[in-house]
Homo-oligomer: A and B are copies of this chain.
């Protein structure tokens, strides 16, 4: 069995320990005489699996009882529509645009109803902890390298909600807890909604600051085909009357995510990942590792005398997705080829931005990042002139 250093952006690596556990019990789950994917979602075996997964997720993220935890399908892209269908109540919603994914979420909401971009007055001093610069709303045609200053944001106090993307997988822009706390204060009674697909469970996060958060599973939770939604109970009452039953959060909450057959195998995988996370010391434990991994990689980039470059403001550099460039696209192509030959996977940047991207999700061990840095050092020595 060969396991490469898998730094894919999603679907992404699972912890090898979990992979082997699944393999072991695949044809006969704990002696029941069938795989867990072959049994009724309403039977004892799977009921135990989904209940444990929900309980472990609640424990890991310290989710208050006043929030429902839903196991749904369709990915974050379905949530781009489902959120306004359930929460907008015909009102306008605010969208903070910090990269390609929040831009996409905004586009879908604007197509379906009323949505506005939460813009920042400019020019105004950048209020983050970054080096310098002016606060601004990053736009689709902009490089998305920093966050808008919170004080300068023009927020609609009557907005149905304020949507953001906690971590921009393509642009490598992550919003930290301090920014979230200040944003929640400014938003006051307007609930925050966050797409956390690519950084959920990577560190402790205060769920209480959000009205709703959602995440596709294929990065930090498990395999593609499962979407987790965590939603404050009072918001469940907002659902528009004419929406499809299966897309109604309230109906799903009332039926424990079993309005129809849920993606049972993907939920089972998520449950094993949650148990694995607990064995890593929970979110405090993985945060420590994730911080070390990201710090080391950014240091290697910043200390490469400009051979490797990352343009994101250090105040909002993502710990999960590290996009970077080499001096030329040709060298980037050569880097990807050489990295694959050296036992790495998934380092090619997203097609919309090119370059290189290393995704350092929970399942990527520190040794993998060390190996990448060693490879980068060698590659630079070979190719820098």
Binding site for B on A (CB under 8 A): 1-4, 6, 8-14, 16, 19-20, 22-23, 26-28, 31-35, 37-41, 43, 73-78, 80-82, 85, 108, 111-112, 216, 218, 223-226, 242, 244-247, 259-266, 269, 343, 345-346
Tell me the smallest distance from the CB of A45 to a CB of chain B, in Å: 10
Besides A11-B39, A37-B223, A78-B246, 4 new A-B residue pairs in contact (Cβ under 8 A), listed by A number = A2-B31, A32-B345, A77-B260, A224-B265
Name the one of B81, B216, B225, B343 contacting A245, with C-beta atoms under 8 angstroms.
B81
CB distance from A37 to the nearest CB of B (A): 4
Which of A11, A74, A260, A264: most chain B CB closer than 10 A?
A: A11
Q: Which of B1, B9, B12, B108 contacts A244 (CB 8 A)?
A: B108
CB distance from A32 to the nearest CB of B (A): 8
For residue A77, which residues in chain B have a CB less than 8 angstroms away from its CB? 245-246, 259-260
Task: List residues of chain B with CB within 8 A of the CB of A108.
Answer: 244-245
User: Does B224 contact A10, Cβ atoms closer than 8 Å?
Assistant: no
Q: Copies per complex?
A: 2
**A38 surroundings in chain B (CB, below 8 A):** 6, 8, 11-14, 19
28 interchain pairs, CB-CB under 8 A: A2-B33, A3-B34, A6-B38, A13-B34, A14-B38, A19-B26, A23-B23, A23-B26, A23-B27, A37-B269, A39-B346, A41-B224, A73-B73, A73-B75, A78-B244, A81-B244, A81-B247, A85-B244, A108-B244, A111-B245, A112-B242, A218-B264, A223-B264, A224-B264, A224-B265, A225-B263, A225-B265, A263-B266
Question: In the complex, which residues of chain B have a beta carbon less than 8 angstroms from the beta carbon of A224?
Answer: 37, 41, 261-265
**A81 is contacted by which of B40, B246, B262 (Cβ under 8 Å)?**
B246
Nearest residue, chain B, Cβ from A344: B33
What CA separation (Å) do A343 and B34 show in the bound complex?
A: 11
A34/B10 in contact, CB under 8 A: no
> How far is B80's CA from A145's CA once the two chains are assembled, in angstroms?
43
Q: Which B residues are CB-close (under 8 A) to A346?
A: 39-40, 43
> Is chain A's interface secondary structure helix, strand, loop, or mixed overall?
loop
Q: Is A11 a contact of B23 with CB atoms below 8 Å?
A: no
Contacts of A40 in B (CB 8 A): 8-11, 346
A20 contacts B11, C-beta separation under 8 Å = no
| Cβ-neighbour of A345 out of B34, B225, B246 (below 8 A) | B34
Give A10 to B244 CA distance when docked, in angstroms. 23
Query: Closest residue to A79 on the B side, CB-wise?
Result: B246
Q: Whole-angstrom distance from the CB of A137 to the nearest CB of chain B?
A: 23
Cβ-closest chain B residue relative to A261: B224
Closest residue of chain B to A19 (Cβ to Cβ) is: B27
Q: Are A28 and B14 in contact (CB under 8 A)?
A: no
In the complex the two chains form, what is the Cα distance from A222 to B175 in whole Å?
39
Known: A111-B242, A225-B226, A345-B34. A39 touches B260 (CB 8 A): no
A27 vs B247: C-alpha distance in the bound complex, in angstroms?
34
One of B22, B225, B263 near A26 (C-beta < 8 A): B22
Chain B residue at smallest Cβ distance from A23? B26
CB pair B345–A33 under 8 Å, yes or no, is yes
Contacts of A6 in B (CB 8 A): 33-34, 38-39
Give CA–CA (A75, B8) in the complex, Å: 28
* Chain B residues within 8 Å of A226, by CB: 225
Q: How many Å from the CB of A5 to the closest CB on chain B?
A: 9
A216→B245 CA distance, assembly (Å): 17
